[in-house]
A and B are shown apart, each in its own frame.
Chain A
Amino acid sequence: MVQGESQELALFQGQTTVPSDFQQYLSVVRYETLKYLRSKRLLAILIILALIIGLILSIPPALGHDYPDDALEFAGLFISFAGILVILCFTFFGADAIVSEFQQKTGYLLFPNPLKRIVILFGKFTASFLASMLVIIIYYGVVVISIGAVNHSVPGEVGLSLLFCVMYLLSGLSIAYLLSSLMKGTTGANVLTFFLFFLILPIIESVFTFAGVKPSLSITFASGIIYFILVVPYPKDIVEEFTMGGDTIEIHQFYPEVALSLLVMFFYLIIAFLLTYFIFERKEMK
């Protein structure tokens, strides 16, 4: 480099130093979270949440019944809907997180920056998690307040249920991100994520169960621990036999095992996240 050039370049040197990956990660988290906080999706999910809570709290008195005396039973009324709420969270806050950068061309703004894709991915994922956790915490907060007010005690199983719910959220978000990195359109990513967890996987589980095979590796089956942890004692698999027209038919009722289910969720979290990184790192703005 000749002397004149180095003098010219010195005009610009030192004015900015590209921050560390961690500092950039915090910036991505902050502005991605702001996206969700300002979105209509958060409002929509809070309305759904209010409806669920409102129905649970209003229907028993409206029908002339008291709330359950058993705190776990009362908590179960709420927590039986937690799985649906989590599915809505990773559909609303995760399903289009990656694909939207490409389809809506916001990647033209973000990608030419001195910013690693892995930082973008971690930042977005954290923001999706935080937005979802806001919803989950509000929901479990209402559960705790309600059973505290009615039953004057909050069983520890509710805390475990929350922990399992967080694990399900993380693994589900990871899968939603994987679909988001694979899909070409935001609508497709949203629809596929929702129906995968709400319809496709439950149907597959039903088929497995009908065939007498325990669907332990299904993430939606594993998510059953969020509710079943409230059942004391923890339920065990049941096989009932019926005789129809001379044939004996076995009806299976399977329950997820806690340790294995947590392992399954952890497996999906890690594998889906690694695959997402692999795809996102190579995905091009064509």
Chain B
Amino acid sequence: MNEAIVTENLTKVFGNFTAVNELNLRIEHGVCVGFLGPNGAGKTTTIKILTSMLRATNGNAYIEGVDVGINPKEALGRVGSVVETPEFYPYLTPVETLTYLGKIRGIASNQLLERIEHVIGEVKLQDWKDKRIGKFSKGMKQRLAIAQALLHEPPILILDEPTTGLDPRGMVEVREIIKLLKTEGRTIFMSSHLLFEVQEVCDKVAMINKGQLLTYDEIEKLANLAEVVKVEVQILSPITPEQVKAIQDFNSVKNLVVYQPHLFVVELEGREPEKAELLANIQNVEGISVTSFRAVGTALENLYMSMISDSI
């Protein structure tokens, strides 16, 4: 087994609810994979099984060929993870927490302080490194969570919504850290609700719904599969019901939503030629003067919406 992370028929059942349903996934070394899916799709459950916090009902999860369920100590030795926003021991400072985790992970004492200074600098917690964590905000705890995941320079990172709880600046900083880690050849498996974040940071996407894998491929290839685009149109005069009806009847138009009297969004089946045709057709509708016409949402968002809605 050469892959960094593998799940084979991974299944997790809670009572009558199947959270993960025979999930088969093979994550190669050195790629950054976005793990996407709606709430309750099974993303966090999968990540919790991979990090030995849940036991699989059936199937197996492997990290570098080691079964997490059978030998978690060996499997997790080269993994750094952030699962949800962990709580820290309030009586410890960030330096003490990282020292504790560093010792558990076997970082040599002579390297540990240097590593702690480095990761604390990376997540910009220098001013707080000797303060007890008890009164830290959620964002600060998330920064510390990322610091502990990077502490032992793991070749594999498993991150569950790593930018959750961060302010916009913090989100950007974390994304930059992830991009840097990518260039260092690490394998990154991260779940996120932020599709633009995944598109910006990741090389590949694994999409799941109802615990089953819908697709796993490179983002560029998936983006080309997107067959639905959204176009936001602004017009000079308020749109009338007749004009709405006329636009809805055009070829390729799947849906139209009026957000404001002067603003509506058209869901279009097709690509650039269909967009051009739509613009020309709207301009021909009596009484409409287009002031703005632009595609909204990313190709990944559009693909996500179509795949998720198809699987419901």
A: residues with CB less than 8 A from B are 1-2, 5, 8-9, 11-12, 15-19, 23-24, 27-28, 30-31, 34-35, 38-39, 104-109, 111-116, 282, 284-286
Contacts and interface: CB of A to CB of B under 8 A. Distances in A.
Query: Interface residues of B: mostly helix, strand, loop or mixed?
Result: loop
Interface of B: 2, 14, 29-30, 48, 51-55, 72-79, 81, 83-89, 91-92, 96-97, 100-101, 103-108, 111, 145, 148, 152-155, 158, 184-186
B53 A108 contact: yes
Nearest to A115: B104
A63 to B, nearest CB: 42
The 10 residue pairs across chains A and B that have the minimum distance between CB atoms = A108-B86, A112-B51, A285-B53, A8-B185, A105-B87, A12-B155, A109-B86, A114-B77, A27-B103, A18-B77
A105 B44 CA distance: 15
Contacts of B73: 18, 114-116
Given A5-B2, A35-B91, A112-B76, A27 B100 contact: yes
Contacts, number: 122
Contacts of B53: 107-108, 111-112, 284-285
Contact of A114 (B74, B87, B92, B100): B74
17 contacts: A9-B29, A15-B111, A19-B104, A23-B103, A24-B103, A27-B104, A30-B100, A34-B92, A105-B86, A106-B86, A109-B86, A109-B101, A111-B52, A112-B83, A114-B73, A284-B55, A285-B48
A18 B2 CA distance: 21
A16 B105 contact: yes
A105 B92 CA distance: 15
Contact of B76 (A15, A31, A114, A285): A114
A145 to B, nearest CB: 31
Contacts of A9: 29, 155
Contact of A15 (B54, B152, B158): B152
Contacts of A115: 73, 104
The interface centre, meaning the residue of B74, B75, B76, B111 with most chain A CB atoms within 10 A of its CB, is B76
